[in-house]
Each structure stands twice: as C-alpha cells, then as structure tokens.
Structure 1
Amino acid sequence: MSEEFNLSEFVPHSGKMCLLDEIVDFGDGWLKAKVHIKPDSMFVEKQGVSAIIGIEYLAQAVAAYAGSKERKSGLKPKLGFLLGCRKYQSTTDYFPMGSILNIEVKLEMEADNGLNVFNAHLTGEGVQASAKLNVFQPADAEAFLKGVKQ
C-alpha cells in the first residue's frame, strides 16, 4: 500500500511508548504493522530486544486495529486493555538488532461488551512468534478506571 499512516491516528500511545514503527495496511478484521529493532528501541539490550516484548508489539497492533475502526468514524483512538495472552511462542529469545518485524493481527471473536480475541503473528528473518490475545475496550475508559458501572 502506498499510503503512509500517522501512528497517532491509530494508537493512544505517545512518544517512546508507541513501539510500532509503521502501519502497513488494515481492513475489516485485520491489521498489518512493522517494528524496526534499532539501538534506540525501547527495551533494547545488548542482544537485541527480548522476545517477551513481542507480546506488547502484538498488543499495540491490536490497539492500532481498534484505532483504525475509530478512525473510520472520524474519532480518536481509545484506551483498551490487554487482559491476557495465551500460547505465546517465539522461535528466538531475542529479536536481533537490525531486525524488521512484520506483525499481523486478525480478529477472531468480538463481543458486544468490548471483549475481543485476536490471533496475532510476528515474523522476521529467522523469527516467528504467535499468540492469542484477549483484550477489552470499554465504551468509556475513564469511567471504567474509576469503577463506574457502564
């Protein structure tokens, strides 16, 4: 896809807390993104970035997918919550410096109450990781955090 996407239109994360480098493409029920492992990447160590951070890369791609839905309606991305990660598997302990990680998330289940399940995959040269992510996006995140029933 030739269009460049502004990450701030997709995720509520800002500054260094936005770990995605680009949104590649998206559609109904899916999104593709990329992460570049660089010396200034958040969570970088001598060996690269620990593969456990892959869970956050996948979760932020899910957030970007949710943001793509808000964007269609002319709204800003809303806060959501990663409730759990099932079956996270990675073929490596670290994502090496210089790696380009391709991320794809696909909506598996969507409930009316804001609960969703995604199949998520991360690939790169010599790298494969995958998981199922359970996420929750309340209608009003501020009220939810204050304990107000929705």
Structure 2
Amino acid sequence: MRYSPANYYLPHESPMVMIEKVHLITDEQCICSVQVSKTSVLAPFLNSDYSLSNFYAIELMAQTIGVWNGYYGLMKNSKPVLGMLLGGRSIKTTLQNFPHNCRLMIHTNLVLNDARLANFDCNIMIDEQCVATGKLNVYEPTLSELDQLFGKTRLGEEE
C-alpha cells in the first residue's frame, strides 16, 4: 500500500515534524523512517557533525505513534489531533548519536488501546541493528481538555 508522507498524518508544523516516510500501518503496528542528514527534516536538530543526539529517539517514537493515530483518525474523517506523551519506560539506546547519513527505521507496536489511552513497544533500527527501544504511554485529549490546558475558552478565544 502507498502512504502519504508522515506530515500528512500529524498535527505538527515544520520544523517539528521529525519523520519523513511511512512504510506500514496496520491495526497494531506502524513503521516510519527518516534520514539523518543535513538536507532532511532533521537538519535543524543535528549536531555540528550532522549526527542526531539519541535523546530525540523518544520524539521519533512518539511521532510514529502519532502517524498511526492520525491514519486511523483520517479513516474516520477526523483531521489529525494533538496527542500527549504521558511517559516512557525502559528507554534504552546503544548509541550516543545517530550518525550522519543513516536511515532510522522507527517501529511501534500497539500493546494496549483503551479509548484515548494507549501503550506501545517501540524500537529504532539502523540497517538490521536495533539502536533504541522503549515503551511509551500516550493519551489523546478531548478538545475541551486541550482548551483547558492551553488557556482557551470553549469558543477558542484567549481567556
């Protein structure tokens, strides 16, 4: 199946979209990728040697989950909505930095989905090597909860 670019499924705007390509979306899995290079969407976040610090791994995992959620939202005629990362467990990386010119393959696997709360097992691969793993808990707030969080009234006006 052909998918749109990752930014189509996310509510983010550039430069905050950190993944590029969608490879697979199923009921329980999403695989996306991004190239670590000075010409990719990651360019604003790269170190002086054009590598990407490993602390971005959690955001890459979260955005891949966001693609999964956005895809299924669009299937229900909803535009992509903001999700929240509640936390992560067992986050581990084997590299301090993801090297320049590598392709990061981000895999997320649904473990639990209960209404607006979900848990995913995630990993990031370079070639056939797993370089990061983690379990992420995510939440999809209602519009009313987002309004409260960002200090807006139900009509969308500043308080």
TM score, norm. by length of structure 1? 0.88
Larger radius of gyration: 2
Map Cα deviations across residues 75-117 of structure 1 (whole Å, 9 max, x no partner).
21111100111111111100000010001101111122x1111
Map Cα deviations across residues 21-68 of structure 1 (whole Å, 9 max, x no partner).
111110112111001101242310034110111111001001111101
Deviates more, 1:71-80 or 1:6-15: 6-15
1:143 aligns with 2:147: yes
Task: Pick closer, same or farther for the CA change 1:34–1:132 going to 2, 3 Å.
Answer: same
Native 8 Å contact 1:19 1:42 kept in 2: no
Q: Give, as a single letter, the amino acid of the residue that structure 2 aligns with 1:22.
A: K
1:50 aligns with 2:53: yes
Task: Pick closer, same or farther for the CA change 1:118–1:147 going to 2, 3 Å.
Answer: farther
Q: Give, as a single letter, the amino acid of the residue that structure 1 aligns with 2:31.
A: K
Q: 2 CA distance for matches of 1:51 and 1:86?
A: 16
Query: Segments of 4+ in structure 1 off by > 4 A?
Result: none
Q: Give, as a single letter, the amino acid of the residue that structure 2 aligns with 1:143.
A: D
Q: Give, as a single letter, the amino acid of the residue that structure 2 aligns with 1:83.
A: L
Aligned to 2:134: 131
Aligned to 2:124: 122
Gaps of 5+ in 2: 153-159
Native 8 Å contact 2:19 2:32 kept in 1: yes
Native 8 Å contact 1:61 1:103 kept in 2: yes
Aligned to 1:9: 8
Aligned pairs (5 A) from 1:32-71: 32-40=31-39, 41-47=43-49, 48-71=51-74
Q: Give, as a single letter, the amino acid of the residue that structure 2 aligns with 1:145.
A: L
Q: 2 CA distance for matches of 1:88 and 1:62?
A: 16
Q: 1 CA distance for matches of 2:148 and 2:22?
A: 28
Gaps of 5+ in 1: none
Aligned to 2:24: 25
TM score, norm. by length of structure 2? 0.84
